Amino acid sequence: MSDKRREDVPEVPEDPSVAEGNGIDIPVPEEAPARGRGRRGRKRAERSEADSGLLPESGAPAGTVYTLGPQNEFGDVEDVSFEQASEDAAEPSEPKKGAALDISDIPNAVAAPDAPASGKFRKRKKRRTAQPRNTAAAPEETSVPAAEDSAPSSQDAPAAEPASVPEEPPADVNAAENADKAPSGEPETSEAAEPAADVADAAPKASRSKRRGKRRPAQADRPDSGDTPSESGEAAASRDTASAPDAEPAVPAKKPKKKSRRTAAQAEDAAGDAAETESAPSETPEKPLRAPKPKAPAATLLLHGILSENPLLFGLVGVFPVVAAASTGLTALAAGICVLAALIVTNLAAALIGDRLPRRLRAALLLLLAACVSAGEQFALEALLPETVDALGIFIPLVAVCGLTLARESFASEHHPASALIDAAACGVGFAAALTLLGVIREVIGSRALFGLDISVPGLPPVLVFAAPAGGLLLLGLLSGAARYVRTKRRASKRGSKEAEL
């Protein structure tokens, strides 16, 4: 189901205001109602689009911005050889469950509507894999001459790729966005890609770069398209930015993609796979969904996890049991470290599992994993800090199942493992720090001690409430309010300084 939801993004005309708000009628009668109708309705809509060829093209008023750039696509159909078109038509109709019906393929499907997913075309695909040179040489009369020679060579001799790509890492990071903005004579696509980039997830990016790859004459990319369409698209896009002399400077990406080196390596692997072991065609369409997971910038993650989005002070995810239990500085520190360890393990596992499991099953599995980690933590605490075990009691196991685990799970599963790891570390450290602060305050006020050292002042008895769970909650509420106050003030001052600059 989660796969389905992700597919929604490329299905709809990606600028909803165009489709619905502005009263521009798109002659796709099934399209708008189908969206709310669940899986069956959506499938029917897709089928009707593919069959009728009605997709945005006909009847669209001049100047309408379509993300999919229908005219371009149709203009391209002539450029693409029949082999290519038929294969594109064959791809979406592969009966693999969960495979994305990529809308970028539909116009080509219209160009060759009679091309089924027959063995004939699969054979062609195989043959082309075996002889990438021929196909690369064939469409040389098509439009983009710049990176002509580099593309097939990069596929044939993959070692050339990593040498060329890392030269422009910043451009490559934004390659998918820049590629559409690159002045290659398709204003509609480039205009329309911008709103799409806002909502873009990995899947639409993949589809877009796939289109780029299609336009590219270097069709040697195609054999591995099943594995890494977006990577090959990315590589093509980076070549594109390199070849275009007046390419725009790198715009900060909203969701930066993987590093180019990794991309190149994956492309290599994929090319190698495709060349050596011809995988069954039913396997291939599954993978375009697993487009490279985006990496989030590490500094932002750290800043968010530790300060501006501290999970204890701002997120207030279900950590209250731990808060209630951690009544001294040492206990709080131990609990915080337990949370950190559990969070790192579960976040990493979530990133690795990704979409391979249904969401609920994944969450249950992660909780089980966290519980296992917590059992280990309990043994470790008994050995290292036996005095905290009595205080925390059943809360050590509950650390694992506390809401923080699941709160970060959705982030982790959609991002690269490295990002997930950094996020887990940041959130865990932020949580542990805030919890320790809370514990220290509670210990100082509630029992007049600091990490076990007696700091009692004569005539000033300890306020026992703060040692009780109620005190913990009270203090957490107050601290959270204070933290929010500070954050609001800071943001206001930042905004004020920006306005002053303007």
Name the site residues for another protein (rule: CB under 8 A).
Answer: 1-2, 38-39, 316-318, 320-321, 323-325, 358-361, 363-364, 367-368, 371-372, 374-375, 378-379, 394, 396-398, 400-403, 465, 468-474, 476-478, 480-482, 484-485, 488
CA nearest to 106, candidates 74, 61, 75: 74
Nearest to another protein of 18, 34 (CB atom): 34
Nearest to another protein of 92, 321 (CB atom): 321
In angstroms, rounded to a whole number, what is the distance separating the alpha carbons of residues 23 and 36?
19
In angstroms, rounded to a whole number, what is the distance separating the alpha carbons of residues 23 and 150?
46
CB of 73 to another protein, least distance (A): 33
Map residue 450 onto helix, strand or coil.
Answer: strand
Fill in the amino acid letter for 350: A
Fill in the amino acid letter for 267: A
CB of 493 to another protein, least distance (A): 15
In angstroms, rounded to a whole number, what is the distance separating the alpha carbons of residues 459 and 464?
15
* Cβ atoms < 10 Å from Cβ of 425: 19
> What are the residues whose beta carbons fall under 8 Å from the beta carbon of 88, sequence distance 6 or more?
80, 105, 108, 109, 214
CB of 16 to another protein, least distance (A): 22
Nearest to another protein of 163, 482 (CB atom): 482
CB of 382 to another protein, least distance (A): 8
Q: What ranges in 393-451 are assigned the alpha helix state H?
A: 395-401, 403-413, 417-447
Beta partners for 453?
Answer: 450
CB of 392 to another protein, least distance (A): 12
Nearest to another protein of 8, 188 (CB atom): 8
Nearest to another protein of 82, 379 (CB atom): 379
- First and final CA of the chain: distance in angstroms? 47
In angstroms, rounded to a whole number, what is the distance separating the alpha carbons of residues 351 and 295?
11
Beta partners for 381?
Answer: none
CB of 437 to another protein, least distance (A): 16
Nearest to another protein of 206, 369 (CB atom): 369
Nearest to another protein of 298, 317 (CB atom): 317
CB of 346 to another protein, least distance (A): 12
What is the 8-class DSSP label of residue 27?
S
Residue tagged 């990069």 (tokens) = 154
Nearest to another protein of 109, 289 (CB atom): 289
- Is residue 242 a contact partner of residue 171, using CB atoms and an 8 Å limit? yes
Sign of the alpha-carbon torsion through 278, 283, 285, 286: negative
CB of 231 to another protein, least distance (A): 29
CB of 367 to another protein, least distance (A): 5
Nearest to another protein of 384, 473 (CB atom): 473
What is the 8-class DSSP label of residue 19?
I
In angstroms, rounded to a whole number, what is the distance separating the alpha carbons of residues 458 and 115?
91
